[in-house]
């Protein structure tokens, strides 16, 4: 009859400890590598998501505007939207300017009501730093089309185009000519009477 074993021998325990000592360090290194890789992927996705949100915000600023958009070209373009419904701070109608700060080449978004650049002490605005290390920020407008091109240092450029952004129609001011017409008619009538015609 075979006897049942209820315990490990000392040699079996020692062998299992040695095997665990051989297997666990590489597993620990693998787990550390996976954790580091996941952290980098998460950071990259977070940065990409932030950039996507920035471009989406700029896109919606232009799309939600009344078409009153001014573009100033110097070393880098400045995009000012006089009236947009896309407010990040709960304004019914906001003026938004996208400007590159030349000191550190950072693209900033300025939102407020009826302010003028450069900003004064009385201007109440919100300024958000969006993207740093900007090499090129170019905006061009042609009739109802707006093209935006952004190039960040050591990154792929991003561009997008919006159609149907019509310039606001300028209202013609009608001048009152009634007084001038009446005077002309009066002098003409007077002239005829004097001549006896």
In this model, does residue 143 exceed pLDDT 60? Answer: yes
The model's pTM? 0.65
Q: Exposed e or buried b for every residue in 180-191, given b needs 16+ CB within 10 A? A: eeeeeeeeeeee
Higher-scoring residue by pLDDT: 49, 86: 86
- Mean pLDDT for 109-132 is 90
Tokens representing 145?
A: 């089309």
Contact between 82 and 67 under an 8 Å Cβ cutoff? The reply is no
In this model, does residue 195 exceed pLDDT 50? Answer: no
Contact between 161 and 149 under an 8 Å Cβ cutoff? The reply is no
């Amino acid at each position: 009859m075979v006897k049942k074993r209820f315990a490990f021998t000392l040699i079996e325990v020692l062998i299992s400890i040695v095997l665990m000592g051989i297997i666990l360090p590489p597993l620990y290194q693998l787990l550390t590598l996976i954790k580091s890789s996941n952290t980098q992927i998460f950071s990259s996705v977070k940065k990409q998501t932030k950039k996507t949100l920035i471009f989406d915000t700029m896109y919606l600023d232009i799309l939600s505007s009344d078409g009153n958009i001014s573009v100033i070209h110097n070393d880098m373009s400045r995009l000012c939207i006089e009236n947009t419904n896309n407010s990040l701070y709960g304004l019914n109608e906001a003026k938004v300017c996208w400007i590159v700060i030349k000191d550190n080449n950072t693209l900033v978004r300025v939102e407020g009501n009826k302010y003028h650049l450069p900003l004064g002490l009385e201007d109440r605005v919100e300024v958000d730093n969006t993207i740093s290390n900007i090499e090129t920020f170019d905006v061009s407008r042609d009739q109802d089309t707006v093209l935006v091109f952004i190039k960040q240092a050591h990154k792929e450029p991003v561009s997008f185009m919006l159609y149907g952004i019509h310039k606001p129609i300028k209202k013609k001011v009608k001048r009152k000519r009634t007084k001038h017409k009446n005077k002309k008619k009066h002098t003409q009538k007077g002239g005829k009477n004097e001549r006896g015609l």
